[in-house]
Structure 1
Amino acid sequence: MKTLKREDLIKLVGERIKRARKISRLSLRALAKEVGLSPTAISKYERGLIAPNSQVIIKISRACGLNPDFFLKPPKKIKFSPIEYRAHRSLPKKEKEALFERVRAWLENYLEIEDLLGESIEYEPFGREVATYEEVERAAEELRNRWGLGLAPIASLVTLLEDKGIKVGLFEMPEKCSAFAFWANGNPVIAANRVFPGDRLRFSLAHELGHLVLRIKDKHLEEEKACFRFAGAFLIPQAVAARELKASMGLSELVFLKLKYGLSVQALIYRARELGIINERRFRGLYQMLRAKGWHKREPGPEYPREEPLRFKRLVCRALEEGFISPLRAKELLDLPSVEDLPCR
């Protein structure tokens, strides 16, 4: 690694302290109180005017819940596309900054391990201009065909996305924030809320996939609604929905279909309505039944298993097993409490 000049190192540490503070959602005053320093001192560290000693770095790392190495690692150059929180625009600025910095730190580690092993998956570009919901349906069908999915249920959407070159990360997010997609160094990335149940997570991922591939060419077609339609069409194509969803179906039947296709009962009801399989009256009746039983908050039957991204973890394990990194570095990359928690030794 290239040796940094003292002034560059001081600047790097300052930038890292500011990022760490944002990750932990601490104000200057709050961080200063945690480490027993003045807000002015913290501000000078962040601006690169003075250098903190090792004890100060350790105190700041503990206050922010980060490893001390975070403050000395040169940043990976990443060119981000504008990140739109869309339905989550009301998210406070401090929450957005903290979330972005957590995603950024994860992505830096991901790209670092890919570079180290010389292994990356090139995303094959796919984009479609759409002006109607019918065109959205066709776009979802075309992508499924491009990826060789046919009409079968998607066993693991996370694995599929990773295999196609889309990086997927799960993070703790506010309840109102489901997921967002963006481009980093020209590659697609989806960050999603890790606390969501499996079916809701799958729909959020498919929705964000819609944002990556759809190009809205008619101002009367709302992007959010188009991506919701894309998600439903991608997870249960129109031909399959016409076969599986019936006007007379009850909630118990929908629970079985939920487990088969990985969509919530609510999403299946909406899918049936948008395809004209059930009318508005039947839709309202089913939805009112859900609410009356409290199933709009927690659906009946077993939960659909939550999928986990595995590629980054697998690359870290390979780097460890092949001697590229130490167990300590592997622990840091995977953000684990101790080396004993490593899934590989």
Structure 2
Amino acid sequence: MGLTQGELAQAAGVSQPLVSQMQRGTRAVTADVLTRVAEATGTPMSFFEIDPVDLPADTLAFRKKAGTSPREVERVEATVREAYRVAARLMAETRVRRTPLPRAEGELSADDIEEFAARTRDALGLARDGVVGHVIRACEGAGIPVVPLVLVDAQGSGEEIVVGHSGVSCWRGIRDPLLVSYFSAGSGDRQRFTTAHELGHLVLHPARRGLVDALGAEAEAHRFAGAFLLPGPRAAEAFEGPLTLKDFAALKKRWGMSIQALINRAHDLGHVDAARRESLYKQLSARGWRTVEPVTVHPEQPSLMRAMLIRRYGEQPSLLPAAEDLALHPVLLRSLVPDVEPGAGPRRESAPVISLGERRVGRENRLRAL
């Protein structure tokens, strides 16, 4: 929630040293203090009783800017861990099926990444050379929840944009559920690329932990996203001949990728050299297209989390009973299951993983998680 220890203590009407001692485990956590904290923050009491999920640090893959603050990273990690815990539990309780993804191992070349992108299309039931009509639904069809994330503040309201982050993917172990999340949908083309980028992490990196550093993993996931959204053979046709920005805008309309991503894809495949790419970027800047591009690609809407929630708890006017049972702040739960608007996004790809064992820890760790 972004509260300091002192702010939490003040909101709950207790002393800061008391909160500190309880977090460190040097003093027993009492029901009175938990009740005060729960009431002050709008958090269900069940939050303090549930086992937190054990996600190894290197199984969280972030797409963030270099200047992102450590405090923001901590908030994002805590939020993603809770989202993963709830998603994994719902998947087990509603018996959602999971489609195995290809698993990369060892050293990879650019051509290897292109092939893994093609094999991932196979696994998701997509044609190798067609347009991906709905990236999110394709992931959900394989049993990978894709969720929007909103950080919850002390008053229980949400912040729609998290500066410095666009997407996060995580896994607990190779045989455990996977999760993709994004902050602020923004433009549909960027959201599609972010989802494909995080899907790339899930294919390329669970079995290669320690083999590739963070920068290398980001570069690989970028290459994967481009190959997944615009396969090499079709890219060769699309990028044939000298292309103007108008041509790239037409390709954006067809493939649902930003002009900037298309320029980089053309460069990765050798259809545009470094000098031409620089020239195109200068033209983008001159037209103001680096921030707002022409051609609207509408954001996609996820549906798997909502479907699981309805299957588990039924159609309810309020999420409070589910939030209490799932031990999750109701505003955060609401952000994970947005209403699906009719006609949102292109083609629908249908639905659907496995149980999750959780490590037992004390209440002081749950207070720290809050």
RMSD, aligned α-carbons:
3.4
Q: How many residues align?
A: 313
Which of 26, 35, 49 is the matching residue for 2:28? 49
Task: Please tell me whether residue 25 in structure 1 is matched to residue 2 in structure 2.
Answer: yes
Q: Is the partner of 1:128 in helix, strand or coil?
A: coil
Structure 2 match to 1:290: 284
Structure 2 match to 1:317: 310
Which of 140, 164, 167 is the matching residue for 1:179? 167
Task: Please tell me whether residue 159 in structure 1 is matched to residue 127 in structure 2.
Answer: no
Q: Is the partner of 2:130 in helix, strand or coil?
A: coil
Structure 2 letter corresponding to 1:314: A
> Deviation at 1:242?
1.5
**Structure 1 residues 225 and 111, CA, compared in 2 at 3 Å: closer, same or farther?**
closer
Structure 1 match to 2:247: 253
TM-score (norm 2): 0.73
Which of 80, 88, 100 is the matching residue for 1:111? 88
- In the aligned structure 1, how far is the partner of 2:338 from the partner of 2:271? 49
**Identity over the aligned pairs, expressed in percent?**
27
> Deviation at 1:44?
4.2
- In the aligned structure 2, how far is the partner of 1:167 from the partner of 1:100? 17
For residues 1-345 of structure 1, the aligned pairs below 5 Å read 24-46=1-23, 47=25, 49-53=28-32, 57=34, 59-61=36-38, 63-64=40-41, 66-75=42-51, 77-80=53-56, 82=58, 83-85=60-62, 88=65, 90-117=67-94, 119-129=95-105, 130-150=107-127, 151-172=129-150, 174-184=162-172, 186-214=176-204, 222-302=216-296, 304-321=297-314, 328-330=320-322, 335=330
5+ long unaligned stretches in structure 1? 1-23
> Which gives a bigger RCO, structure 1 or 2 (Cα 8 Å, sep 6+)?
2
Structure 1 match to 2:357: none
Q: Rg bigger for which structure?
A: 1
TM-score (norm 1): 0.78
Kept after mapping to 2: 8 A contact 1:169/1:192: yes
> Deviation at 1:255?
2.4
> Deviation at 1:263?
0.8
Mean Cα displacement is larger for which, 226-235 or 36-45? Answer: 36-45
Q: Is the partner of 1:178 in helix, strand or coil?
A: strand
> Deviation at 1:265?
0.7
Kept after mapping to 2: 8 A contact 1:58/1:68: no
**Structure 1 residues 266 and 120, CA, compared in 2 at 3 Å: closer, same or farther?**
same
> Deviation at 1:230?
1.3
> Deviation at 1:260?
2.2
> Deviation at 1:125?
4.0
Structure 2 letter corresponding to 1:166: I
